[in-house]
Chains A and B, each alone.
Chain A
């Protein structure tokens, strides 16, 4: 189901487009002006003429898209005029600097949620409920089997998992941008102040987080550790792509775990071949999605990603809202932040 071709936001081959603001939101291809919800690779792509995003996310965007991008930083809740539209960025609680983007023009307001969660996360500002007429929401975990426990609780389990294996390296796989830092920050809250070792992909994101004042335990790239040094009892964080890669050769008898919302399901845990799965996500769970739709007061909802058909149908049939899936254009755009 495409968006109406004369609406405030339209779906073009480049992605979501607002003619009034002459700007694209999280475009898939290079465009003159991009409004970016957050820095994950399926939302922030290189090659655009100008990038508008939350100032707190600048470091991450420059690190990923190039230091020389034309960047305009905006504060949360700050209203900016772009062409005939008023544009504001509101905290999405997904990762550092993540935002929902609200656009008003011609007496109508649209809200593009980007990726978001409702749970507490020490690395980013909490989700802000925003009023809108039309909502475009994600539905990555749009099934009622997905219901998250607090991040602190999962982090405590991870800490216990690490501590109970003092003679083995503990190799924790987590998405390099967002999840890894959230885990580190939760561990810091739990009192961890010893050095955690990082895969290069995770290491690359640490400076932007530290520069924003996020409290994290000391970290060091694994590659800087002398080869002779034992990894027994050490915690190492790496992106899931490193699992079963030659990078793992250095580890002698490691215990492995994957941190992802998908790990809520037993079959997914077994299929991925990690010893442990910790269900922790930076996306909204089922209740979080429903609550967000209700909080927004939207009269029309469009759903992208994941179980978009199912969530739209539920909103239509059970909540009496006008709701449609936005079609397959958004599928396959996910490359990194699928948790």
Chain B
């Protein structure tokens, strides 16, 4: 585990992207396959299981040290992390000198930690104390973190795949694909992940493709091109979903790589009609059969996270999958094909569904229409109609674009209704005053920088309703990582769509940007923090708006 602890320390101390990638690559290269697999799973945040509560660990620490509980609380308030607080307090425990313990990371994760969790009361306390006594200083913090399931490293997934690409000689896109749909840490999984292309056995049939993402529109870059080269669609206000039909099975994957089949049984049934070896990219919406437009995000929220929905909910909030891309047909990966061809194939596929099944299926699997656009002058009037059809703006996709991995500026644009909108991650909260006293209602949000770190970007106080405020307040109290006086830092997990009127460069803000009238538009429970926008997206918006004013 020392090598992994050293890696974490090194990542914490290294600022440059290249040096971080090199440290990651060197670690993966040197580590045994099983240890490397665990390192990967932990770095990518795919393993966060809690084996012992932070409270239990703290109890063991307190009982042994004899420190009063209030003093522990004061320490915690200063440190903001119970695993670290305990690690810092270990010298107070006067543990007996013990020969150092060094075990491979995989041993810890697969055997030692679960065994500790299975012990009871006194036996568990004794075992934890023995490990604390035997672990080198730097490893106690890591051990506590892994045990309490709160391990997080500030490394963007992109850096990890880049390092894996260096090690394996594979394309980053290929690795991103192989990592989709979950990664079970084992030496076999690690070998499969890094296996050369030719020898690579097909992955599990459930595996989704990495999503191709759009960037906020930079109008000047678009208007310099011929409108005929673009496919224009509504930007639906649902959740981005990949629908996979392979070997008689159906898999519905959200952008956050969660399998959501159980919440949408009617779509599972509808997918039976699709030929084997089909993968659709589209928007999952709540859209009643005869309705002219989707029911909006509220009803969809009711369906999300509800497994096995009852008949009443299915009736009130019926789901529909609005397809806009075809990624696999007849088991063949279509992503290298230009969009124009994929679109034609998609239309052909949906038209070819059996006549008998058309009525229910057409209601459940829809085709996102392509909007005609002859001149760029028509773009804005079209966008203004978005709200009237229940969309949140326009999508513009280059007809000759391949289906890329992640966000590659220029091929796909999103042109939302709000003049400016970004998805940001909640970082800090502060209690309001007056009616909102003692409620955490003043929020600070962050965007990603180029190093995979979140940088404070905007504060917002409005936009949530009272029940959301109450819910978020409770969440904030449970997920505080640090306190600075009245301000709480929270775990970077909640994503919100912020709307604002303008951006200006500013030297007074760490992000380099001042935001005009920011407010919360939506709590994006469907989004993972990794999918939030970056500072470079914000800068691009700034440049876009400056160009528009000229």
Contact = CB atoms under 8 A, between A and B. Distances in A.
A266 B84 CA distance: 8
Interface in B1-35: 12-15
Interface stretch (A34-42, A51-59, A143-151, A202-210): A143-151
A64 interface: no
A313 interface: yes
Interface string A265-283: 1110110000110000000
Contacts of B12: 266, 269-270
Interface string B488-521: 0100000000000000000000000000000000
Interface in B83-112: 84-85, 88-89, 91-92
B15 A275 contact: yes
Contacts of A314: 68, 71
A267 B141 CA distance: 13
A6 interface: no
Contacts of A146: 88
A145 B79 contact: yes
Interface in A242-273: 264-267, 269-270
Interface in B137-181: 141
B75 A267 contact: no
B14 A144 contact: no
A317 B68 contact: yes
B442 interface: no
A275 B14 contact: yes
Contacts of B481: 267
A145 B89 contact: yes
A242 to B, nearest CB: 18
Interface in A268-314: 269-270, 275-276, 286, 307, 310, 313-314
Nearest to A144: B92
Interface in B63-83: 65, 67-68, 70-71, 74-75, 78-81
Contact of B78 (A143, A270, A275): A143
B84 A144 contact: no
A8 B78 CA distance: 35
A307 B88 contact: no
Nearest to A256: B15
A143 B75 contact: yes
Contacts of A229: none
Given A265-B88, A267-B79, A267-B80, A143 B15 contact: no
A143 B74 CA distance: 8
A310 B75 CA distance: 10
Interface in A122-165: 143-147
A143 B71 contact: yes
A6 B85 CA distance: 42
A286 to B, nearest CB: 8
A271 to B, nearest CB: 8
A266 B68 contact: no
B482 interface: yes
Contact of B89 (A144, A269, A310, A318): A144
Contacts of A286: 92
Contacts of B482: 267
Interface string B475-489: 000000110000001
Contact of B79 (A265, A270, A310, A313): A265
A311 to B, nearest CB: 10
B68 A144 contact: no
Nearest to A276: B13
Given A144-B67, A147-B91, A265-B88, A310 B74 contact: yes
Interface residues of B, number: 25
Contacts of A144: 65, 67, 71, 75, 89, 92
A77 to B, nearest CB: 33
A318 B89 CA distance: 17
A264 B12 CA distance: 14
A286 B15 CA distance: 32
Given A267-B80, A310-B71, A310-B74, A145 B85 contact: yes
Contacts of B141: 266
B84 A265 contact: yes
A307 B78 CA distance: 10
Interface string A308-329: 0010011001100000000000
A275 B13 contact: yes
A145 B70 CA distance: 13
Given A143-B75, A310-B74, A264 B13 contact: no
Contacts of A270: 12
B78 A265 contact: yes
A146 B79 CA distance: 11
B91 A318 contact: no
A270 B75 CA distance: 18
Looking at A144, A145, A264, A266, the one whose CB has the most chain B CB atoms below 10 A away is A145
Contacts of B65: 144
Nearest to B72: A144
A306 to B, nearest CB: 10
A287 B526 CA distance: 49
A317 B68 CA distance: 9
A314 B71 CA distance: 8
Contacts of B74: 143, 307, 310
Contacts of A264: 88
A143 B78 CA distance: 9
A143 B77 CA distance: 11
Contacts of A318: 68
Nearest to A253: B16
Contacts of B92: 144, 147, 286
Contacts of B89: 144-145
B81 A267 contact: yes
A62 B88 CA distance: 40
A275 B489 CA distance: 21
B405 to A, nearest CB: 30
Contacts of A275: 13-15
Contacts of A145: 75, 78-79, 85, 88-89
Interface in A50-101: none
Nearest to A141: B78
A23 to B, nearest CB: 35
Contacts of B70: 313
Contacts of B91: 147
A17 B65 CA distance: 39
B42 to A, nearest CB: 17
Contacts of A265: 78-79, 84, 88
B371 to A, nearest CB: 47
A315 to B, nearest CB: 12
B81 A266 contact: yes
A310 B489 CA distance: 23
A286 B79 CA distance: 15
16 contacts: A143-B71, A144-B65, A144-B71, A145-B79, A145-B88, A147-B92, A265-B78, A265-B88, A266-B12, A267-B81, A267-B84, A270-B12, A286-B92, A310-B74, A313-B70, A314-B68
Given A266-B12, A267-B81, 11 more contacts: A143-B71, A143-B74, A144-B65, A145-B75, A145-B78, A265-B78, A266-B141, A267-B80, A267-B482, A314-B68, A317-B68
Q: Which 9 A-B pairs have the closest CB atoms?
A: A145-B88, A145-B75, A147-B91, A310-B74, A144-B92, A267-B482, A267-B80, A143-B75, A265-B79
Interface of B: 12-15, 65, 67-68, 70-71, 74-75, 78-81, 84-85, 88-89, 91-92, 141, 481-482, 489
